[in-house]
Structures are given as C-alpha cells and as structure tokens.
Chains A and B, each alone.
Chain A
Amino acid sequence: MSAPAMTKTRTLVLARRGIPWGDIVFKWLLRVCLAIAVAFLVTLLVYVVYKGWSRLDPRLWENFPSIRRPERAGAKSALFGTLWVISLTAVFCLPVGILGAIYLEEYADPDRWYNRMIELNIANLAAIPSIVYGILGLGVIARGFGFGTTILTASITLSLLVLPIVIIASREAIRAVPSSIRQASYGLGATKWQTISRQVLPAAVPGMATGSILALSRAAGEAAPLLLLGGLTYVAYVPDGVLSGYTVLPIQIYGWISQSREAFHDLSSAAIVLLLIVIIAMNSIAIFVRNRAQKRW
C-alpha cells in the first residue's frame, strides 16, 4: 500500500462504482409495488367516505331499510343482525376452536396418521371458498337439520368458516409458550390439564385473543355464504332471537348496490363506512393486543 508520502502513483485504488443503476431501479420498482397496494387502499377509503358522506348521519343506524324512499332508509336491522350473528358466531367458534387447538398442540401425537389428517384437513378448510360454506349451510344446516334461514344457521355456518383461523392462531399462541413452563409445572406435581389450564392457557391468551378478533372481523365482513342462507331479504325489524330472520351489513350493502337509483349507492357507501369502522376497529384492537402482549420469556 502507499508507503510514506514519496511514492506518487503506487496507491491501489479500488474502483468505486457506487451502487449500480440496475439496483436503484430495482429497489424503486419494489417500492412502487408496495405503493400501488397502499395507494389503492387509500383511494378506496377516500372514495367510500366521500361518496357516503352525505348519508353518514343518525338516519343510517336509526331507520329501517326502505325500498321506495332511499332518503329515509337506514341499516338498523342490518346493524343489529350483524351484532347478533357475530356474537353467536363467537359463542360457537371460540370454544371449539381453542379446545381443538389445545388438543392438537398438547395432546395429539403428530406422527399418528389421524392427527396428520386433522391438520391437513384444517389447512384445506382454511382455503375453501366461502360460498362453498354457504352450500354446506344451505344443504345440511338450513334444510338437513331444518334450522331454516335464521340467525342460528348463519352463525353456525360462519363459525365453521372461521374455525380454521381460530385454530391456527390459537395453536401458534400455545406453541409460543416455552416448554420449560410446562416442565416446571409437571415438576411441582400438576396434572396435564392443571398445567394447561393454569400455566399454558393464561400465557397464550393474548395470542388467542388476537386470532379470535381477526377471525370475527372476517366473519363480520362475509357476505357470500349468507346470500344462500336467506340474508338477502327485506327485514324491517330488529331480530328478537336466534330463530329470527335477519340481514347483516355486508348483505344490506350488496342489496343497495344492486338497486339502480343513485341515492341507494350513496347509502351503500355510508353503510360501507359503518362496516369498515367496525372491522378496522376490531383489527386495530387485535394488532394492539398483539403488540402490547409480546412477552419475552
């Protein structure tokens, strides 16, 4: 290398080319990909709020739908229908999903063929189109069991639809609890179920809550299966029980989109804003719980 200041041109100069052009372009291309997706989301939100602004007032949640007078119509029955269906879905799918996840994580021997089959089956169910669940609800629950097109049928169908999400999320939460906790509990003489119910489950609650809220928000926005289950009917009353007829927000929105008058489209925009507020609020709670409860063991 360059000895003292005498030698003039012996210094080895490494070619300093900077970052090649292609790399800069590539990086920007990737950024554009992400930006398009984000810009789309922003455009969608702005458009929906702008379009629905004139109808975002108490009429929306205080009035019942009206076919003849869009200016008087509201989504009261749909809002209550959504509350009913989602609460009942939570009652059905959360216990089953969490218990199923406990079995798969804590009890099941993954080398057994039947346990592998259950896992493969859950992965497959998670990717089956939602309208196929509608067919299941129509053929088996509504007509086979004779529950008809009621809140009960809708809730059971949606529970089955989001069950894989609950199971997968709960399993991840359970798996994140280190086995040293379990060993310590066994070492103190606790039985398997005592260990699970008093050590593992409390530690896994935040993860399970996150997954459950995301699953329910998915159920709240789902429309396709309910189209087959009588959701698309004109309902001008608040449901009074699990065997009541119903409509939900996504279906009500779909119904208004199908109307030809412009006023109904503004109304559907307003209802979309309402639905998005519900869903984004649920998502934010889930993300908040997740970030808050990230525990370091």
Chain B
Amino acid sequence: MTAPATPSAPASPQGPLGRARSRYGERTVQVVLVAAALVSVATTVGIVVSLVPPTVEFFASVSFAEFFTTTQWAPLFEPPAYGVLPLVTATLLITVIAVVVAIPLGLGAALYLSEYAHPRTRMTFKPILEVLAGVPTVVYGFFALRFVTPTLQGWLPAGMSPDVFNALSAGLVMGIMIVPTVASLSEDAMSAVPRGLRDGAYALGSSTRLVAVRVVVPAALSGIVASFVLAISRAIGETMIVAIASGNKPELSFNPLDAMQTMTGFIAQAGSGDLPTASLDYKTIFAVGALLFLITFVMNLISARLVRRFREVYE
C-alpha cells in the first residue's frame, strides 16, 4: 500500500520492507500544529511582556514601601497617593464574603448531585448550574446593584443599612456566581472516587450521610480543595460585579456595608478612560495588574498541584 501512496519515494533501496518516507505534508502539518500550541505560550509571554516594563517604570517613580505600606490610594488626584492596601483589603473582604457563600452551597450541591440525586435529577440540575455559570458577570453586577442592595436595605435594621454601593451585595452575588465552579469541580473529584470504597462503607452499615462525609469527601479532598482555590482565584479576579455594585471609593475599611474599590475595580475604572501612554496613571494600571496577576498565578499553581495529586491516587 505504501508504494502508490508515496510516488516521490525512490524505488526502495533499503529492501522490501524499508520504512517508507513520510508523505510530504506530514511534516508541514506537524509544524503548523506546534505553532498553534505555541500560541498559548506566546499569550503568557505577552502578558508578562505587557506587565513588566510599565511596572518597572512605575516603581522607578513610586517606592515599594509607599506602594505596599501606606493606606491612601488616590493615583488620579492631586497630590497623588499610591498606597495599594485599600484595594487589596477590599479585594480580600469581597472575596471572603463570596467564598463564605460559595463553598457551603457549592459543596452541598456537589454532594447532593453526586451521592443522593437520582440520575434523572442530576441530568436536570447540571445544565441549570451550567446556565448559572454562563450568565455574563455584567448581568450579575446589575442584579447586585438593582435588586440585592435594595433588598438588603429593606431587610437589615436601620443602623446596618448598606450604602447604595457596598461590598456586601457584590460579595453575595459573586458567591453565587462561583457556586458552579465549586460544584462542578468537586463533583468531578467525587465521581472519581471508586465505587468500591462506597460499597465497603455501606456493607459495614453506614448511612448515605456517613458514606458522603466520612468516605467520599476525604477521598476527594484534594480535588475539593483545588476547586476552593480556583473559586478564590476567580473571586479575586472578577471585575464587572465589583465595578458595578461595590463602588469606586478606595478606602481602607473592613465594613462590608461601605462602598469600596477592589484591584480589578480600579483597573476597570482607570482603564476606561483614554490615558496617555507615558503617564504615570497609565503605568499604575499595569502595576496593579501585575499584582493581581501574581496573586492569581500563585493560586492557580496551588490548584493545579492539588488536582494532580488527586488524579494520582485513583488512576
């Protein structure tokens, strides 16, 4: 069969079953494929290249000490102040609220779908969770600002009424937004737990709850933790919800009823205008972006490591 397929090959000098020369084109195809795979590497390089030089220039004008230790953030005012802490604490506060909402809900939903639900129930609810994951974040932001905040203002007692822009409703809605992330990744980890472990526990007389809590969750723990880490990383990087619902006031506060600005919120606000490339304002965006990138990068590495660990156990 090889002879007619490779007309360009010389009449087989090395014997009847010699290795046919690969068709011309095979090589080209491979080069194209490698090039496509390298686009992803180029993306990472591009991100680093776009972040590093402006960040370095930024730190030539603003000292590390001022950036990381002072508590005033007002880069677009006169005189400017470059203490990034208010943005960081706002990011952390909103992330904590989101995670407190998302982890129990996501884990509960995953446990229910993986251990209790009838297959038909699972077939119904998994697509619903996918729709929840597919709703654009700008829609969540709108809902947080126009529905959740007024509802909270109506429910909470007068002294605790939140501002129009507040961290609480942004965090709550963001928590619901990342429920599907937690639920689907944890459920994957739980379905990877071999049936035999469950059957063994059932044979010893365990109830479904004991099997779920004492067998499945511990066995899937690294996958579950990886889903938490990824969820935290998504919450830190989420932009539109906070840009819409938590306000643009960078202030060092730990009161979730106050308006505050996160790192992503600042980048969105400052980046929406048309800043001259050489200005320090422009570089500030990249400095905050570099910090954001660094934080999420570390979280992603932790998550990837955890996922690899849980894969190793049962395959």
Contact = CB atoms under 8 A, between A and B. Distances in A.
Interface of A: 19-20, 22-23, 26-27, 29-34, 36-38, 40-41, 43-44, 47-48, 51, 95-100, 102-104, 107-108, 117-118, 120-125, 127-136, 138-140, 143-144, 160, 163-164, 167, 188-189, 191-193, 214, 217-218, 220-224, 227-228, 230, 232, 250, 253-254, 257-258, 265, 268-269, 272, 275-276, 279-280, 283, 287
A221 B136 contact: yes
Contacts of A164: 40
B26 A191 contact: yes
B153 to A, nearest CB: 16
Given A99-B36, A221-B139, A224-B243, 7 more contacts: A27-B116, A30-B111, A160-B46, A191-B22, A193-B23, A254-B243, A279-B134
Contacts, number: 270
Nearest to B172: A40
B137 to A, nearest CB: 7
B44 A139 contact: no
A131 B239 contact: yes
Interface in B242-300: 243-244, 264, 267-268, 271-272, 274, 277, 285-286, 289, 292-293, 296-297, 299-300
Given A33-B109, A103-B34, A283-B131, A224 B239 contact: yes
A221 B111 CA distance: 29
B1 to A, nearest CB: 3
A124 B303 CA distance: 9
A272 B134 CA distance: 13
A120 B305 CA distance: 10
Contacts of B36: 95-100, 102-103
Interface in B97-121: 104-109, 111-113, 116
B109 A268 contact: no
A221 B134 contact: yes
B207 interface: yes
B40 A100 contact: yes
A118 B45 CA distance: 12
